[in-house]
Amino acid sequence: MNNDSIIILDFGSQYTQLIARRIRELNVFSEIYPFNISFEKIKEINPKGIILSGGPSSVYEKNAPFPAPQIFELNIPILGLCYGLQVIAEIFGGKVKSSQLREYGLAILKIKNKKSIFAGLKDKEKVWMSHGDKVIKIPKGFEVAGKTENSDYAAIVNEEKKIYGLQFHPEVIHTESGMKIFENFIKICKTKRNWVAETYINATIKEIREKVKDDKVLCAVSGGVDSTVTAFLINKAIGKKLICVFVNNGLLRLDEEKKVIKMFERVGINVHYINAEKIFLKKLKGVVDPEKKRKIIGNLFIKVFENYSKKIGKFKFLAQGTLYPDLIESVSVKGPSATIKSHHNVGGLPEKMKLKLIEPLKFLFKDEVRKIGERLGIPLEVLWRQPFPGPGLAVRVIGEVTKEKLDILRNADNIIIDEIKKAGYYNKVWQSFGVLLPVKTVGVMGDKRTYENVIALRVVYSKDGMTADWVNLPYELLNKISSRIINEVKGVNRVVYDISNKPPSTIEWE
């Protein structure tokens, strides 16, 4: 066990993994555990500090989740965020109730106590709120450290016990001094800042070797950052016992299969190619519900791999590039997080699988994966490819997926990427892509009436995929993209621009 660490107890917040990620950014080892982890286990871990996450519950509800009360007797610093603050208030004799005014989004925190947890902050700070309950009475021994317009007790502290409660979310990038708050908490915990990517690489390689032993691993690769880094890590661990497979499911971008095979040849990894386009499109025929699409694709991927593994030899393991956000949005792995959508490689997997999964990146975020990829020597043009959804264009064609619709979207998407690259935005933004909408609109082309498809353009800034802001692209660029799509892609007569942030929207439309 790494006893120079900070652990997070998960009460179901969609931001829980962001907390762990922020702590790791400060070079401190952190890991997430369910809120009801036993006190004995916590003592065994022997952390330097504990963070209580947010969550969807209310502390005054029947069967509300609470941690083992003995954690407050460990004499180590504890930080409660949102629901975590309310847990602290309830346990120590304060009072929490439903607020008449929900506080969601940016708020101004007026700081009353600029020491310890708020050391180095300004008198007023922008913070990110997301709560419907609030503390209306603070416990004995605590004092108010900050307030907002809607929350008189937005921050409470007990310096003697080193217990801190914040109603806002410092882990979300919209809280401007969030990292400074975590840095202050690390100082209070007196934790060494010695956790780096090399540590993760070495530990992961050792873990893979111990798990695989003399068996072989089948690795799904797509040409994206995640599966490429996964392939490199496993290749470094077991060498020729790794067999990489690329499946063309017919849901790819224009000429994607050719580009991916060439890219892997350049970096020295042999890839087996499977053309399964007809199988996937047949299974998706008539399917409209996005969750069904994801599950069909996830199940079919596994079947294709299992069938292929029989042809080329016995395999015990299947590797894939699952990341933390995939797990968070699909299903709670270590806590009671609510499901947002099933990812094809998580929630879409069949209940019974013949192949055992190896997912070396499943507790990492995209930028952490890129850092590890750099240390493994993966070319930058590969590492900085924009994310592409596992289910491919199936979740960007809203409604039923057909080859005709996919071809329309493929050509439109190719124009979008081309113009985004020409304008110098490709490496500045998180994602840029098109969505084919299930509507047609009237237009005029060459003095003739048209009734054709609509493409929605989506371009966002993000650091980790957990939150995202739409990009205010120059009008000239928007005009260029729109004109080219309408003039060059048969079947499209209108382009619209999506100006929604995440939250409340997601990056992908399905």
DSSP 8-state symbol, 386: P
Catalytic residue status for 82: yes
Number of helices (H) and strands (E) in the chain: give both, helices first. Answer: 14, 18
Catalytic residue status for 344: no
- Partnered with residue 449 across adjacent β-strands are 444
SS (H, E, C) 439-468: EEEEEEECCEEEEEEEEEEEEEECCCCCCE
Of these residues, 90, 125, 131, 169, which one is catalytic?
A: 169
- Contacts by 152-155 with C-beta closer than 8 Å and gap 24+? 153/89, 154/107, 154/109, 154/127, 155/109, 155/111, 155/117, 155/118
Catalytic residue status for 244: no
Cα angle 367-50-165, degrees, rounded to a multiple of 5: 100
Q: Is 238 helix (H, G, I), strand (E, B) or coil?
A: helix
Q: Where are the alpha helices (DSSP H) in 64-112?
A: 83-91
Q: Is 419 helix (H, G, I), strand (E, B) or coil?
A: helix
Backbone angles phi, psi at 317, to 5 degrees: -125, 145
Q: In angstroms, rounded to a whole number, what is the distance separating the alpha carbons of residues 361 and 331?
A: 16
CB-CB contact of 2 with 28 (8 Å): no
Of these residues, 90, 103, 171, 368, which one is catalytic?
A: 171
**DSSP secondary structure letters along 111-179:** ES--SGGGTT--SEEEEEEEEEEEEEEPPTT-EEEEE-SS-TTSEEEETTTTEEEESS-TTSTTSTTHH
Q: In angstroms, rounded to a whole number, what is the distance separating the alpha carbons of residues 325 and 336?
A: 15
Q: Is 288 helix (H, G, I), strand (E, B) or coil?
A: coil
CB-CB contact of 131 with 174 (8 Å): no
Helix (H), strand (E) at residue 470: strand 469-470
Of these residues, 82, 189, 219, 244, which one is catalytic?
A: 82
Q: In angstroms, rounded to a whole number, what is the distance separating the alpha carbons of residues 385 and 365?
A: 15
Cβ neighbours around 285 below 10 Å, total: 10
CB-CB contact of 321 with 343 (8 Å): no
Q: In angstroms, rounded to a whole number, what is the distance separating the alpha carbons of residues 164 and 144?
A: 10
Catalytic center residues:
82, 169, 171
